[in-house]
Structure formats: C-alpha cells, structure tokens
Amino acid sequence: LLPLPPKDLSLTRKSNGDVLLSFGTSYYNQGNGPLELRADHETAGIRKDIERNVFQRIYDTQGNFRDKLVGVFLWHQSHLHYHFADFIIYDLEAVNIPGEHDLSGVRSKSTFCVRDTSKIALTLQNVPEKAGYLICGKEKQGISVGWADTYFYNYPDQNLNLGNLPSGIYKLSFIVNPENWFEEVSVDNNKSSVIIELNMKKLTVKVLEEAPKNSPKIEHIYYEQVFK
C-alpha cells in the first residue's frame, strides 16, 4: 500500500482560536492481488454497532485463499459506516519553528473505510476496469490492484488540530498499515510526506517538498462514500 503525499492542504481557524490543518489522503495498491478485508462471519447479522474482528483474505494464483486476523471494524458515526481501526497515522513534526513545542498531540491514528475510489496511471497486472470494492460494507471492504482509496480534504476528520502552534516549517507524514498487520509484498513504501511552510496569521500553506517526488497520476472516479 503506497500513500501519495498529502494534497489540498489548507488552514482554517475555529471559533476557539485553534487552527485546523486540512488535507486530502490517497493510498493505492501496487501489489499482485487485492487487499481484501472480511468481517468475522460469526458476528454477521448482529444489528448492534459492535467491534467486529477482521480477516485479510490472501489469494494465490490459482484462486485459493487463506484468512489472517488483522484487526477490527468499528462503526464511525461521523461517516455513518464501518471503518477499519488504526489504518493510517498522520504525523506532524517540527522542521524549523521558533522555540520548543510539544507536537505529540498532533500525531493521530485514523480509521478508514477501505474501498476503490480512484484509478492510478500505472501499467500493472490484474487491474480490474471497474471498482471491485465500491461500498463501505460491514462484511467486506478492499482495494483492488491499480486502484486507490481517497479521502478528500472536506471529509469529516480529514484534519489535524494544530492548536496555537507558531508559524514555521513542518513535516506532515502519512504512514499506512502502521502496525504491519497486513501481509504485503513490501512494507518499505508505506510512508509519504510533505515539507510545508505554515503561516498561522495569514492561514496559508506552502508546499516546499514532497516525498516521494514522482507520484503517479490519479483519476478520481467515485467522490461519494457509499455504504449499506
């Protein structure tokens, strides 16, 4: 799972004076097969919004599969569907700011609905023409080869509360699969970042550097979050 550097960064001030840093998030599947997550069948049909164990279904080239316990699905009230817990970490670090400031509260683990929303401009094998995982289901979610999951900057919780941090240069990083629960071809490329200059008075963001520098083009196809 490869995250793209943060996009559409912006600052807004809340009524209490705190400043929010909003951003868009995309990660994509460049592996040999889909990342498929299935809820424990023993809890199927339970009408209460409970935590449900989730298994990664790992396929071989003959279509056989095995299941590996990787985490839980949680009901996300703001989005009104199920999310996989602790899917990504958002981390803000100081690069060049005046004084010493505790940024530990800005580091955040986020839950995600895992689905196909965007196509990646890459030549890969086993890429489906249509989305294989479209809904934020409570039984199955996933991301197909050559597809990306995008959380746009205006979705709920797509921000970090910076409080009253000073203007300066910061590094914002995304880390997908932070606990290495999922089996992947490689986990060495699960991080992306941007170096940004924040002006907290003017509420402006300037991107100084992206990593990785050369990201593939992405075509957003599904903007709405679909669930049932």
Q: Are 137 and 228 in contact (CB under 8 A)?
A: yes
- CA atoms of 169 and 97, how far apart (whole Å): 6
Q: Are 120 and 128 in contact (CB under 8 A)?
A: no
> Is the confidence at residue 225, as pLDDT, over 90?
no
SS3 104: helix
Q: Has this prediction a pTM greater than 0.75? A: yes
- Please report the pLDDT score of residue 171 as a whole number: 97
The mean pLDDT value for 42-60 works out to: 83
- Please report the pLDDT score of residue 228 as a whole number: 46
61-73 pLDDT tens trace:
888 999 999 999 8
80-111 pLDDT tens trace:
567 888 899 999 999 999 888 888 878 888 87
- Please report the pLDDT score of residue 108 as a whole number: 86
Please report which residue ranges of 70-144 form alpha helices under DSSP H. none
162-189 pLDDT tens trace:
999 999 999 999 999 999 999 999 999 9
At 47, the pLDDT band (50, 70, 90 cuts) reads low
